[in-house]
Amino acid sequence: MHSFSVQELDQLIEDDLKTNKKSSKLLIGYKLFYDLMKDPKFHAEVTDSALSATKRKYKGLKLKITTDEYQLHFE
């Protein structure tokens, strides 16, 4: 899979919120999450959102890390 940037993720979130305002959760594959955590902006927002790893958020969406390597799905 090609490298996926935080800017691309931000654009997808913005587009999803415009079309489907019900999304409250972001399912994200563990390898994609690992790659995105290398970005300082993403890392800071995610780690500062909550002390518990199970309650972390990005751009107001709850993050759920999945076992699929590069999954990206809005719920």
pLDDT, tens digit, 9 for 90 and up, residues 12-49: 999 988 887 788 999 999 999 999 999 999 999 999 99
Answer yes or no: pTM beyond 0.85: yes
Is the pLDDT at 50 greater than 90? The verdict is: no
Six-digit token pair at 68? 């699929």
What is the mean pLDDT of the segment spanning 44-72?
91
3-state secondary structure of 29: strand
Beta carbons of 27 and 69 less than 8 angstroms apart? no
| pLDDT at residue 2, rounded to an integer | 60
